[in-house]
Amino acid sequence: MVPGGIDCHTHMELPFGGTFASDTFEIGTRAAAWGGTTTIIDFAVQKTGENLRDCLDLWHAKAEGECAVDYAFHMVMGGVDEAALKEMDALVDEGITSFKLFMAYPGVFYSDDGQILRAMQKAANNGALITMHAENGIAIDVLAEQAAARGQTDPVYHGITRPSRMEGEATNRAIQLALVAGAPVYFVHLSASEALERVAEARDAGHNVFAETCPQYLYLNLEDHLGAPGFAGAGFVCSPPLRTKEHTHHKDLWRGLRTNDLAIVATDHCPFCMKDQKELGKDDFRAIPNGIGGVEHRMDLIYQG
């Protein structure tokens, strides 16, 4: 017997790139239950310019009465400013204790280093946990723009323009900021050897640094999946991207699970249909909605691994 699983990283109905993740709270949590997951922690989302409190209320309204399993929320902070930092205290008091920041997606979710430091200082003070999407989004956007200008528009370039070094760099930067702020930090969907090395180093030094990975980074790769012929690779576009099998990423992540440098396997469940959704990026990989499914299969995949 295996106890009911907790998937602490899902995105039901996430608005992204002009569309919504195709699983509603109702459908997505049925899939979770079918696969042995009895609790999900989804993300209420504040985009840059929106009010934190309003966004949380909106997500409560989406989920209420719809879910087949237990659920809770992390809060995405896409606009760290004085108002949001103040609201953070109130949210912590009512049980929203984890806040996600993005070092990727400039103009949508992105926080700069100053915003990250401020949020971490706040977390050090109110006991919240900062969770981090660690990829250097500013540099990645330059690489993506240059690739598109060269006519490299196939889905595989989504992966090629998001080098694993950019995840390693961002991971290191976030760890240093967390140490300065005196706050713990938790990395969502860690995918790369370079990032794992930084996390392992910090943990060996006794710091409160934690990381999750996802089944897709353990089982799928850039060449066979993201690089599938034609437009099929679009189905595997997620961020961070699937990593090359020519490197040690996959082997290192499995080892990270054994050594507890990776504490958690979550899914980042965020499916989009090929038709009308992934197809938005038919002529330009930058317009492909980022995300793949997994909530139904996680328990099985990890048990088998």
Give me the residues that bind Zn ion (CB under 5 A), please. Answer: 268
CB of 75 to Zn ion, least distance (A): 13
* Nearest residue (CB) to Zn ion, 194 versus 268: 268
Residue 64 CB-density burial (10 A; 0-12 exposed, 13-18 middle, 19+ buried)? exposed
CA distance 29 to 243: 28
Q: Is 5 helix (H, G, I), strand (E, B) or coil?
A: strand
CB of 11 to Zn ion, least distance (A): 6
Report the 10 Å Cβ neighbour count for 292.
21
CA distance 277 to 281: 8
* Nearest residue (CB) to Zn ion, 87 versus 268: 268
* Nearest residue (CB) to Zn ion, 17 versus 153: 17
CA distance 87 to 83: 6
CB of 210 to Zn ion, least distance (A): 16
CA distance 114 to 249: 30
CB of 71 to Zn ion, least distance (A): 15
* Nearest residue (CB) to Zn ion, 147 versus 293: 293
CA distance 33 to 250: 28
CB of 39 to Zn ion, least distance (A): 17
Report the 10 Å Cβ neighbour count for 224.
12
CB of 8 to Zn ion, least distance (A): 11
CA distance 253 to 257: 6
Report the 10 Å Cβ neighbour count for 92.
20
* Nearest residue (CB) to Zn ion, 135 versus 154: 135
DSSP state for residue 230 in the 8-state scheme: T
CB of 182 to Zn ion, least distance (A): 26
Among all residues, whose Cβ is closest to Zn ion? 268
By the 8 A CB rule, do 209 and 203 touch?
Answer: yes
* Nearest residue (CB) to Zn ion, 45 versus 147: 45
* Nearest residue (CB) to Zn ion, 41 versus 257: 41
* Nearest residue (CB) to Zn ion, 212 versus 268: 268
By the 8 A CB rule, do 53 and 36 touch?
Answer: no
CA distance 187 to 213: 9
CB of 165 to Zn ion, least distance (A): 21
Helices within 161-234 (DSSP H only): 164-181, 193-204, 215-219
